[in-house]
Amino acid sequence: MSSRRTVVPSCQPAQSPNDFPQNNNQRQAVNRYTRDYYDPGAGYVFPGPTGRAWQDKFGEMELVGARIPPQSYHGPHFERSEAQDELWNQRGSNKATKAHEYTDLYKKNPSAPWPDRVSADYNSYKNASASHANVREKLGPIKNLNTGKKVLPEVETRDMLMEGRRLAKDGRKKANIAAQARSGFDSKYPQGYESHTAIASHRVAASDENQAAKNYAASGKTTSKNLIQWGKERNYQVHGTPRPVRGGPNRGGKR
């Protein structure tokens, strides 16, 4: 008795007789006797029971289920998405990455003007850097507002602190985008600059954007802390709530 082995092709349900490379009689027998089926939950094509009639007529056949590949998050126009995902997942791993081979007598390559795609990426991180410059100017005086005992907690002060907290969040987001765009440009176009000095300056600017994002995060914490202090002073000075006694139960001191 002969023995055959057939692998069910992926992404195709096994109910169809065309899934198996036999002649017409064998195809009908596969559909009739094995009754293979596809389980969408498990992602496999499962072979059905093989009856005695099948073995007597065609011999034994082992059916191997094939996993259906998961649906990609990328759109159809991202042709190299799988390769890009693989490179992304190698960050920080011990896998060797191929270093870029610079041309002899390093120079901007190509020496002609940048293509539209390169110019668009360049303008992307430039615009992101410029977008949070005015945020920094507006946030500076707000984060230094005094909300202590000697300052009357006006409603306008609260509104300014809330606006400062919003600005800090917005600035952190824009600075992070600028840092990521700059770092990505350097990796994507290693010879997009005219010298090693220009690349070093570019990387310093990317590091500065990263530090700016951290500064915005710290400013957000400061404004949130001042907003809480404003609320306490509002209760003390306007609503008449008594202040906690120094050394009392509210301060954890001795009684």
| pLDDT at residue 55 greater than cutoff 50 | yes
How is residue 32 annotated by DSSP? Answer: I
Phi, psi (rounded to 5 degrees) for 174? -70, -35
Report the distance separating Cα 4 and Cα 63, nearest Å. Answer: 9
**What pLDDT, on a 0 to 100 scale, did the predictor assign at position 29?**
47
The CA-to-CA distance between both ends of the chain, in Å, stands at 96
Mode of pairing for the β-strands spanning 37-39 and 3-7: unpaired
Q: Check residues 71 and 221 and name the one with the higher pLDDT.
A: 221
Report the distance separating Cα 87 and Cα 83, nearest Å. Answer: 6
DSSP annotation string for 175-196: HHHHHHHHHHHHHH-TTSSSSH
How is residue 62 annotated by DSSP? Answer: E
Tokens 């909300």 label which residue? 147
**What pLDDT, on a 0 to 100 scale, did the predictor assign at position 185?**
84
Reading the block at residue 53, the tokens are 């009639």
SS3 breakdown of the chain: % helix, strand, coil, rounded to 5? 50, 5, 40
Report the distance separating Cα 101 and Cα 37, nearest Å. Answer: 52
**What pLDDT, on a 0 to 100 scale, did the predictor assign at position 31?**
47
**What pLDDT, on a 0 to 100 scale, did the predictor assign at position 208?**
92
Tens digits of residue pLDDT in 219-247: 999 999 888 888 888 888 777 778 777 66
22 touches 30 (CB < 8 A) = yes
pTM greater than 0.95: no
Tens digits of residue pLDDT in 88-116: 666 555 555 566 665 555 555 555 677 78
